[in-house]
Each structure stands twice: as structure tokens, then as C-alpha cells.
Amino acid sequence: MKKFLQLISILMAIALVIAFVPAAPFSSMADETAPAPDRADVRLGWIDENQGPGVARWVDENGNISKQPGKAKAESQSNSTQETQEEKAGESSQGSGTSQSATGESGQAETQAETQPETQPATQPETQPAETGRQIDPALPMVALTFDDGPYAPVGNQIMDSLAQYGGKATFFVVGSRAAAYQTELKRMVAEGHEIGNHTFDHKYLTKLNGAQIQSEINRCNDAVFAASGVRPALVRLPGGLKNHTVLANVNAPIIMWSIDTLDWKTRNTSKTVNAVLSHVKDGDIVLMHELYSQTGAAALEIIPKLAAAGYQMVTVSEMAQYRGGVVPSGVYSQFHR
């Protein structure tokens, strides 16, 4: 009985403590321990809500997220986690471009041309890059530097400045929805002999779309680039590199993959990006980088002079294809090795 009374008094003491401790400290503790979003510290920079290469969003000085600088308004996050995983899967399968290239060869392309005459042909005279005084020696090594997900003038102009200094050209696979905002940059690309490729209108993963939707993504990007620059892209790079039979059947242009994946979007590290290129590069490589990141711009400023010093001709993808067997609509190409 004595023990029972002791137990009762202990329980009452506990109850009193609980009753008189104010609730406020608990709620403030909850605030402090709530995990901060990863992007919380990003201001005046690009974030990638997919945590992978894709359409990045701009964060202004107040933390507002928008598609592009100067259009600050919070936008709903339309890209899902599911897409993130698929994007990563697509990026990690980059080596498969070669093995799949045989599936999209010319037989399919001919069918495509007959059944869908309204689709913009891949090779129109107006799509050819300006070739005024351009000298390429087919006997010497060449490499195609490619930059996805732009245009984005702060980095793109840096890249073009360096290429101008060393006589190099690059290929910019741009997102059509961004084209109108960067007309000046796109016109500079054309004027200086760089190639503008098609990276779809708004970076949708084409494996999730039907045939008509795929064609719309490609055609709207071509139209937007043409409206902004006067040139219609001849080549397509698929968002995430993701492809299936429907994609191959409905992209009526050569599909360009890559042989060197710098993972610049993931590391955001200049020296890692530089090393990824310089430690692997060989004649006929296609190098994948992304135009949105300042670290990629800084890397390009190191890569370009070193490639030049090593004797590489920095050429556009179409230029390299021209000397290395050519391309056909719906063909898939990840390199142009000899």
C-alpha cells in the first residue's frame, strides 16, 4: 500500500510538470528543427529543382523562383520527383547512344518523310552554319563542345568570347521557350558560326509524350529559334537523352547524344568539369556541358585554350558530322570517332 501511494505521488508530480510547462518552447523547437530546403541559400542564381540536368529555375535576391531572371514570380513546381529519377536514369545511360544508333537509321527516316510531310525537314539550306572563311583540316583531330539548356547570355557570351580567341565553334542545344528572351545571344551564335541545336520547346521528357506531342515539342523549338535568330536548328538533343521507339519515330532530325559526360550540372565544380574533358578527350568526341552554370563557363575558359594547345579543332556537331560520315534524320549519334 505504501508503494502504491508512492507511485501515485510520482505520477501526480509528472502530471503537474507536464501541465505547467508552457507550450511555446515546443513549437519554437519544431521551427528550429524543420529541415531547410536545399535551395534556401541560393540567391541570384540557377537552381535545379529536378536535381538533375534540365530546365533550371532562377532564384532572385528575395528567394522568388521564376523561369528566367527578371520574371520573378513563384511558379508551381511542375516537375515531379518521378521525372528526376527518370532524368538521372537517362543521363547515366549515356553510353548507350552508340548501341542504339543502328535502330534509327535511314529506313525509318524515309517512312517518316513520306508520312509526315508537314514536319520540318532536318536539312534545309537555311539551317547550315555560316561558313565564311572557315578552315577545317579533316586530317587533324576535332572535338565538338556542346552546351545544353540555354540560352543564357552571361555564360554563353563567356564561352563565345573564348572560342573567338581560339578560332573554335560550339553547338548550343537550346530550350525553345527561352529563345525570345535571349535573341541577342542567339544572333551572336549565328553571326560567329556556332550551331544552334534543338533541345525541345520546354524540356519535356519525350518518352512521356505521344507522337503529336513529341513533334510539337520539336517544331515549336525550331520555330522559336528561327523567330529569334533567323536560323532553324538541324539537330536535336533529347532532354535527359531519353528515347524510345515513339521518340525515334517522331523526331525527324538527327539525334545527338554525347561521348563525354562532364556531369557539370551535378558537381558544379570547375576543375572537375575541366578534368572530365581533358582526361578523356579524343578525336571525334562530343562533350556534354550545360550553359546555365557559372562554373561551366569558368571551365570552358580553361578547356578551350588547352584543347587548342593540344591540337584539337573545336567544331560544331554538323561540321564534324560532315567530315565523319554524315547524319540522317532519326539517326542517333554519340560520337564521330574515326
Residue type (1 letter), 45: G
Question: SS3 of 224, please?
Answer: helix
| Shorter beta-carbon distance to Ni ion: residue 90 or 193 | 90
Question: SS3 of 179, please?
Answer: helix
Q: Considering only the stretches 12-20, 29-37, 144-152, 226-234, report the one whose residues sit in contact with Ni ion under the rule CB under 5 A.
A: 144-152
Q: Which residue has the cell 528566367?
A: 68
* CA–CA distance, 250 with 247 (Å, rounded to integer): 5
Residue type (1 letter), 195: E
In the complex, what is the shortest distance from the CB of residue 53 to Ni ion, in angstroms, rounded to a whole number? 5
In the complex, what is the shortest distance from the CB of residue 202 to Ni ion, in angstroms, rounded to a whole number? 11
| Shorter beta-carbon distance to Ni ion: residue 198 or 250 | 198
Residues 36-75 that bind Ni ion (CB under 5 A): 53
Alpha-carbon separation of residue 195 from 149, 172, 333 (angstroms): 14, 6, 16
Catalytic residue among 194, 199, 203, 290: 290
* Greatest alpha-carbon span in the chain: 106
In the complex, what is the shortest distance from the CB of residue 27 to Ni ion, in angstroms, rounded to a whole number? 42
| Shorter beta-carbon distance to Ni ion: residue 54 or 193 | 54
In the complex, what is the shortest distance from the CB of residue 253 to Ni ion, in angstroms, rounded to a whole number? 16
Cell numbers linked to 127: 539551317
Give the x/- contact pattern for Ni ion in 297-336, rule: CB under 5 A: ----------------------------------------
| Shorter beta-carbon distance to Ni ion: residue 108 or 200 | 200
In the complex, what is the shortest distance from the CB of residue 241 to Ni ion, in angstroms, rounded to a whole number? 9
| Shorter beta-carbon distance to Ni ion: residue 236 or 249 | 236
Do strands 286-290 and 260-261 pair parallel, antiparallel, or not at all (unpaired)? parallel
Catalytic residue among 48, 148, 261, 285: 148
Is 148 a catalytic site residue? yes
In the complex, what is the shortest distance from the CB of residue 219 to Ni ion, in angstroms, rounded to a whole number? 18
Outline where 21-145 has alpha helix (H).
24-33, 81-92, 96-100, 106-115
| Shorter beta-carbon distance to Ni ion: residue 189 or 328 | 189
Cell numbers linked to 319: 561540321
Give the x/- contact pattern for Ni ion in 148-177, rule: CB under 5 A: xx----------------------------
Cell numbers linked to 121: 525537314
Residues 194-253 that bind Ni ion (CB under 5 A): 239
How many residues form the binding site for Ni ion (CB under 5 A)? Answer: 4
* CA–CA distance, 124 with 252 (Å, rounded to integer): 13
* CA–CA distance, 111 with 249 (Å, rounded to integer): 9
| Shorter beta-carbon distance to Ni ion: residue 175 or 314 | 175
DSSP 129: P
Q: Considering only the stretches 63-71, 145-153, 249-257, 300-308, report the one whose residues sit in contact with Ni ion under the rule CB under 5 A.
A: 145-153
* CA–CA distance, 192 with 229 (Å, rounded to integer): 12
- Those residues with Cβ within 8 angstroms of residue 247's Cβ, 6 or more apart along the chain or in another chain: 206, 207, 214, 238
* CA–CA distance, 267 with 102 (Å, rounded to integer): 32
- The CA radius of gyration of the chain, in Å to the nearest whole number, is 26
CB 182 within 8 A of CB 150: yes
In the complex, what is the shortest distance from the CB of residue 281 to Ni ion, in angstroms, rounded to a whole number? 21
**Residues near Ni ion, by CB under 5 A:** 53, 148-149, 239
The residues annotated as belonging to the active site are: 148, 290
